[in-house]
Amino acid sequence: MSTDETSRYVRIRVEVVLEVEDDAAVAGAALRRIAGDAGLSAAERTRAEGAVTEDTAEALAHLVDPSDLVSEVPGVGLRQASWSSERIDYDPDATDWDLDEDDDPLDEEDGAEMTVG
């Protein structure tokens, strides 16, 4: 692929932390989504139902779909998406919690501090 071809593709990384206030409501919504999915075989449906009733993170993975984020954006088409969910320990006041943890606050060329956003 030439540079012109690859420049058409953009990767967006999103990290979201959700507070689950009602495990049963999340599981119920996931079960309804699974029940409405005509593309699942009986075996897949049974496995999915068991997973979402045992693990709220798994239920959320069935409910949150990256294509929903871009389906209404004009001029783009989703080519690939992957996502996962897991339970985490979360303390918003912890000094090590940083949504921009991949961003280096120092400019590599001159060591100057950069302000982003």
The full set of domain ranges for the chain reads: 1-73+81-117
Q: Is the pLDDT of residue 17 over 60?
A: yes
pLDDT: is 44 or 98 the higher one? 44
Global pTM reads: 0.66
Q: pLDDT-based confidence at 90, cuts 50/70/90?
A: confident
Average pLDDT, the chain: 81
Q: pLDDT at position 35, please?
A: 96
- The whole-number average pLDDT for the span 19-47 is 96
Residue 59: per-residue pLDDT: 95
56 burial type by CB count under 10 A (0-12 exposed, 13-18 middle, 19+ buried): buried
Task: For residue 36, give Cα distances in angstroms to 2, 9, 90.
Answer: 42, 32, 33
